Chain A
């Protein structure tokens, strides 16, 4: 080795996936970043032992990748297309900023909205909020635009835990849920691939759990890495998980003596199970205060839910006087009508879903379903308590996890409802050992789940539904995915655009829907840390739509399939080169449940490699050249970069009239953050963070559990009955029909108070039929699974990641059941073509036993045709097979990552041996 003159270790964070941040140190020798190591200084406080995962180590090669965009570039070929050479030529930063700044100025000249009322400027980011952790002050620039369309998805909705995000926030302030793993003993996981996707903290906590004796049963069509380390794998037929879940409820409520085995206090006092339901499906309410009624068996009278009720009726039917408060102000007044407790409605609802029925649906023996339900009940230890930081709380060490394809699209509502209901029945929601939410993204404030949990008129948590009433419904979409208009449940926070029907803008660009504003193209589109031409449903079609955008500014690391269509490429400083402070600790998705909270830094480690710039500097320059500097600075001062710089307690605000340097901006943020952390007693600047890496203060673990807060405030879980969903759905149907929109009717049918089972697999069979195909010609279910090594990291072009990922099955091709493959004449490594009704992808056969004979699996997202190195991997991608379609879109605007395919032997040689 060469003689080293200087060596240092630079502390930074890794937030390449939603499960971050994790902290690491970069070893730098003579200005070259040489190695990554976990930042073990924080091993006692970090819920993942202070470790970083495999992806972090890819950052060295990411930095020194010779394929990096060397300097800003502009397009010289005005024609855009996959087969067109963009003719990118290098330009100076000054010229690049001038071009983009002038374009901003010109675009905003007549106001931020176009003739359809849509923002002229749009921006797309990678999923899960991870880009925000790298984009410095860019959010302030977006804010300064005065309107920006953030609704062009790049896989959002399809690739996330979509139904869980929406219903989870509604039911228990859980944008994402996690088991309280350190106290949990039994987990039923329906395809939840946490050991690939729950980050370091998730893997660390679950490994500890397993060593302690925690049992996990994994129910999924293929044996994932998570299934591998579970005690049992149950190979369920794809997209029939709901049948399994419903049969579990049936086992508990119909086959077993539910009063003896369930948590009766939670059912009777802490849920809406005793609420009386009128004949029209709405709560029976007292006619004066419109409070939902409960039948008290002690004196055989109906009383408001918040009255003193000695013996609430859960079963039967009761003659009751009262009012049903229906949609659009419709009232049904009943002098005496037979009303049933929601729990009785639930019993009626769930009765047909027997284990034998489910066995037929999901190809799992009925007794296996019974056994899982019985284990769940036994392990729930109803009545047990545990002491947490000196406080005695219920201990229900059971959880149910749902994977993405279970959670997304059709059936997602059913699955989330059934899962959350099962946990409610045993009292395992939001208590130690059970299932807890980790953060909120739709409710506000974002940094505290409890503060948003305020009681509403019916005894549940308030929820910021998008209005569906005639007066307040937003008939005209304000952005192209129309989330406020179409999805009441997605609320209207900064995250809502990405959680709306994020694939619809791409679909509508090609096939405009009837009676809908013209789907204009954004005059300017920014894309950052995202590659929708690869990561979207029907990625090839999305690429075609991207090519139609008139002006694209791509923050570019290497050439890729999306920035191939860009007009300007701006090379940003990558992870080891840029400066930013972000929050860490508290409770975050997915299993980052901390006993601390604080701030951490990402800072330049080695010398710069190419002529790139920090995102904050780029944002500032664009604000200045775009003529919106003051609004930009104002947004920073208001906290757009992650921390308010001015509050009633302190003022570290920036002069809003002049541009500020990178260090200056983050120094102010450091001071504001440390002031906030220490109540002004330990205010430090950015240099302190550069040296120490992070700052922490204790955070009580009692904050992890929402139930004590709800109990103290008399708030019930809004389960099992979904009156608000029913009302909003009905009102939304009225609104849409009033403007002639009928293309959302199938989605509107999903607004049921208790979701009924549908044969979800038939949706995809019928889709093949609708498209003119024969379902029998597409005999396989094609699925995808998370690659821990690749996901979110934008690291498909990094050879070292490819090298180590190849040790894990499925990173070399499409996984197919060995016996089934051989019946098709396929052997290991054979080239194959996989076709759906809408697309085609190619790869190599990987023969395994851990997959159902009717299923094939393509891990990760590949099929690259431009990204250097990745384009030579010849890996298949489900995204080339799935279709953009309203038929495959559920009422929340998401879809499942699944499709029917056929697989045939392709041309060419076998895959070369490693």
Chain B
């Protein structure tokens, strides 16, 4: 079905939604549920009931949302298996049999278009005859989303019908719409209805600033209702702090503590491998100790990877995650593991500096891959900030120093450049403090909403004390005090790990609000100051 013929490559399927036509009736939503047999709670096509302003200056608007079949879809490159692809005609497709349910695509989507259902549920509790007849077992544990009714479109074209004109060849939501609010068609055809609508009317694309070039374009004006720019009342913190506001993104639930553990333990382990490698190269750490530390770190990373494996929807398909190293940092992370573990094992057997260096380099790459996995999650503003890779790498190295300090203290290891460890701890502690400070201070400018910001801000003191102040102080004591007890730098290391684990868990599972939805323009209609201008004032 996803074969692309030459004719299709000339097309660009998309939709035009007229917010002045839409009455929020939910016919498209339920028509989609019928056409696509979605299970309870899954709505590929949704219509939001949005209210903005404060009585008596209020506006209410209905917003059609779902997969935008972006021209630059952020969900495609992050997929580690190639289950999500983009066809030449622009449709972003899903191959359920290839998907492992890792949710990378789901957190990459700034339109909250994707769902993963793990457990079978039925509308009446037990399966009805009809539910049995339309069951799609292949959809459990994998990502699902709107397909623009790809089968209707393809079958329609094959039958000589015209999508967007013939209802049978048009996505169910657009075909069923009782207000003609949703139109479907080919944006590459200047004569198509959708092309003419966007040619003749003002329109916007949702989150256009993210560079996704979404292919749902929203009309917002009529001759009686002009458009208006956004105001503080529409987008200010008060409006965006209300969890009941459908525009406000909810905390993502795709990645929970199991996923966070991969980032936490991955940072610990990879960081220590990198640090141990540097200590070996420049501070006189002996090779035997290094390999023991590497083996321990590899175990920690393995536990992290085990946790994330527990989280994915289709566990037996996990090996498929190696299929997209061209674009997926998750695939690349696995390749890094594929180099790291043999290098550590070989280093254990042969104690060659080149193998130790290779392990250290692979660990650094692994750490960077993890950082990029989070950074590429375009749907989560706290994750996608430009400094996220630097933060995760710096934290990983800091954690590596911390974990090394613990190991050194616990096993009473001494080496020539042992004094460098607390110094590195101080330096990395200050860097991490600075990065966090920049992260929190720049949060608003980076598009992080007030709900996530509030969590970050209220947690900063805890992080600064436990993750920055205490360990830096302890490291400083260790650096300055010749006869420092062995537990002092070790304790510093414990606090480093607490701080690193704390903020990663916080950002991944708490301050993880999705992008939410947004109008770039509103129709000017409503009450009080938001009302459309009087006909008498039109001249």
Question: Residues of A with Cβ closer than 8 Å to B?
Answer: 1-2, 29-30, 32-38, 40, 43, 48-49, 51-54, 57-58, 60-61, 63-67, 186, 195-196, 200, 203-204, 207-208, 210-215, 223, 225-235, 371, 374-375, 378-379, 609, 788-789, 799-801, 803-805, 807-809, 817-819, 828-829, 847-853, 869
Contact indicator B49/A807 (Cβ below 8 Å): yes
* Residues on B with beta carbons closer than 8 Å to the beta carbon of A852: 55
* Residues on B with beta carbons closer than 8 Å to the beta carbon of A61: 123-124, 128, 130
Q: How distant is B315 from chain A, measured CB to nearest CB, in Å?
A: 23
Contact indicator A35/B134 (Cβ below 8 Å): yes
Given contacts A52-B178, A57-B34, A235-B56, could you give 4 more A-B pairs where the C-beta distance is less than 8 Å?
A32-B129, A64-B131, A223-B51, A226-B23
Residue of A48, A801, A828, A849 most packed against chain B (CB within 10 A): A849
Q: How distant is A157 from chain B, measured CB to nearest CB, in Å?
A: 27
Contact indicator A64/B58 (Cβ below 8 Å): no
Contact indicator A234/B527 (Cβ below 8 Å): yes
* Residues on A with beta carbons closer than 8 Å to the beta carbon of B51: 223, 809, 848-850
In the docked arrangement, what's the CA distance between A789 and B60, Å?
A: 18
In the docked arrangement, what's the CA distance between A38 and B31, Å?
A: 9
Q: Does B180 interact with chain A (Cβ within 8 Å)?
A: yes
Q: A54-B25, A789-B26 given as contacts; is B223 within 8 A of A231 (CB)?
A: no
Contact with A along B165-199 (1 / 0, CB 8 A): 00110001001111111000000000000000000
Q: A38-B175, A230-B525, A849-B55 given as contacts; is B26 within 8 A of A609 (CB)?
A: no
Contact indicator A375/B46 (Cβ below 8 Å): no
In the docked arrangement, what's the CA distance between A43 and B165, Å?
A: 12
Q: Which residue of B lies closest to A213 (CB)?
A: B223
Q: Does B520 interact with chain A (Cβ within 8 Å)?
A: no
**Which residues of chain B from 239 to 289 have a CB within 8 Å of any chain A CB?**
243-244
Chain A facing B: main interface SS: mixed
Q: Which residue of A lies closest to B57 (CB)?
A: A849
Contact indicator A34/B46 (Cβ below 8 Å): no
In the docked arrangement, what's the CA distance between A40 and B224, Å?
A: 31
Contact indicator A804/B26 (Cβ below 8 Å): yes
* Residues on B with beta carbons closer than 8 Å to the beta carbon of A210: 20-21, 222, 224-225
Q: Which residue of B lies closest to A186 (CB)?
A: B535
Q: A228-B60, A378-B535, A848-B51 given as contacts; is B35 within 8 A of A804 (CB)?
A: no
Q: Does B153 interact with chain A (Cβ within 8 Å)?
A: no
Q: How distant is A10 from chain B, measured CB to nearest CB, in Å?
A: 14
Q: A215-B532, A231-B525 given as contacts; is B130 within 8 A of A60 (CB)?
A: yes
Contact indicator B24/A228 (Cβ below 8 Å): yes
Choose from B48, B134, B527 the contact partner of A223 (Cβ within 8 Å).
Answer: B527
Q: Top 3 nearest A-B pairs by Cβ distance?
A: A213-B223, A231-B532, A228-B60
Contact indicator A799/B124 (Cβ below 8 Å): yes
Q: A213-B223, A215-B224, A788-B25 given as contacts; is B134 within 8 A of A49 (CB)?
A: no
* Residues on A with beta carbons closer than 8 Å to the beta carbon of B37: 1, 35
In the docked arrangement, what's the CA distance between A38 and B40, Å?
A: 22
Contact indicator B175/A805 (Cβ below 8 Å): no
Contact indicator A233/B58 (Cβ below 8 Å): yes
Q: Does B33 interact with chain A (Cβ within 8 Å)?
A: yes
Contact indicator A235/B55 (Cβ below 8 Å): yes
Choose from B48, B172, B177 the contact partner of A37 (Cβ within 8 Å).
Answer: B172
* Residues on A with beta carbons closer than 8 Å to the beta carbon of B527: 223, 232-235, 850
Pick 9 A–B contacts, CB within 8 A, sort by A: A37-B31, A60-B130, A61-B130, A204-B178, A204-B180, A225-B24, A228-B59, A231-B525, A801-B30
In the docked arrangement, what's the CA distance between A37 and B243, Å?
A: 35
Contact indicator B60/A40 (Cβ below 8 Å): no
Contact indicator B25/A375 (Cβ below 8 Å): no
Contact with A along B24-67 (1 / 0, CB 8 A): 11110111011101001101001111010111101111100000
Choose from A52, A214, A374 the contact partner of B224 (Cβ within 8 Å).
Answer: A214
* Residues on B with beta carbons closer than 8 Å to the beta carbon of A211: 18, 20-21, 180, 222
Choose from A35, A54, A207, A233 the contact partner of B26 (Cβ within 8 Å).
Answer: A54
Q: Which residue of B lies closest to A65 (CB)?
A: B124
Q: A213-B224, A215-B224, A371-B534 given as contacts; is B133 within 8 A of A804 (CB)?
A: no
* Residues on A with beta carbons closer than 8 Å to the beta carbon of B131: 64
Q: How distant is B194 from chain A, measured CB to nearest CB, in Å?
A: 14
* Residues on A with beta carbons closer than 8 Å to the beta carbon of B534: 371, 375
In the docked arrangement, what's the CA distance between A378 and B534, Å?
A: 11
Contact indicator B62/A228 (Cβ below 8 Å): yes
* Residues on B with beta carbons closer than 8 Å to the beta carbon of A65: 124, 128
Q: Does B156 interact with chain A (Cβ within 8 Å)?
A: no
* Residues on A with beta carbons closer than 8 Å to the beta carbon of B177: 51
In the docked arrangement, what's the CA distance between A809 and B167, Å?
A: 30
Contact indicator A207/B535 (Cβ below 8 Å): no
* Residues on A with beta carbons closer than 8 Å to the beta carbon of B134: 1, 34-35
Q: How distant is B109 from chain A, measured CB to nearest CB, in Å?
A: 19
* Residues on A with beta carbons closer than 8 Å to the beta carbon of B179: 203-204, 207
Residue of B51, B126, B133 most packed against chain A (CB within 10 A): B133
In the docked arrangement, what's the CA distance between A378 and B133, Å?
A: 58
Q: How distant is B65 from chain A, measured CB to nearest CB, in Å?
A: 10
Q: Does B531 interact with chain A (Cβ within 8 Å)?
A: yes
Q: A35-B134, A64-B130, A379-B535 given as contacts; is B178 within 8 A of A231 (CB)?
A: no
Contact indicator A200/B129 (Cβ below 8 Å): no
Contact indicator A807/B35 (Cβ below 8 Å): no
Q: A807-B49, A819-B55 given as contacts; is B244 within 8 A of A203 (CB)?
A: no
In the docked arrangement, what's the CA distance between A848 and B59, Å?
A: 11
In the docked arrangement, what's the CA distance between A179 and B243, Å?
A: 39
Q: How distant is B88 from chain A, measured CB to nearest CB, in Å?
A: 27
In the docked arrangement, what's the CA distance between A30 and B133, Å?
A: 9
Q: A186-B535, A799-B40, A809-B51 given as contacts; is B56 within 8 A of A35 (CB)?
A: no
* Residues on B with beta carbons closer than 8 Å to the beta carbon of A848: 51
Q: A799-B123, A800-B30 given as contacts; is B526 within 8 A of A232 (CB)?
A: yes
In the docked arrangement, what's the CA distance between A351 and B29, Å?
A: 51
Q: Which residue of A lies closest to B525 (CB)?
A: A231
Q: Does B135 interact with chain A (Cβ within 8 Å)?
A: yes
* Residues on B with beta carbons closer than 8 Å to the beta carbon of A819: 54-55
* Residues on B with beta carbons closer than 8 Å to the beta carbon of A52: 27, 176, 178
Q: How distant is A582 from chain B, measured CB to nearest CB, in Å?
A: 21
Q: A48-B178, A203-B25, A204-B179 given as contacts; is B535 within 8 A of A215 (CB)?
A: yes
Q: Does B79 interact with chain A (Cβ within 8 Å)?
A: no
Choose from B54, B168, B172, B178 the contact partner of A203 (Cβ within 8 Å).
Answer: B178
Contact indicator A232/B531 (Cβ below 8 Å): yes
* Residues on A with beta carbons closer than 8 Å to the beta carbon of B136: 1
* Residues on B with beta carbons closer than 8 Å to the beta carbon of A226: 23
Contact indicator A38/B176 (Cβ below 8 Å): yes
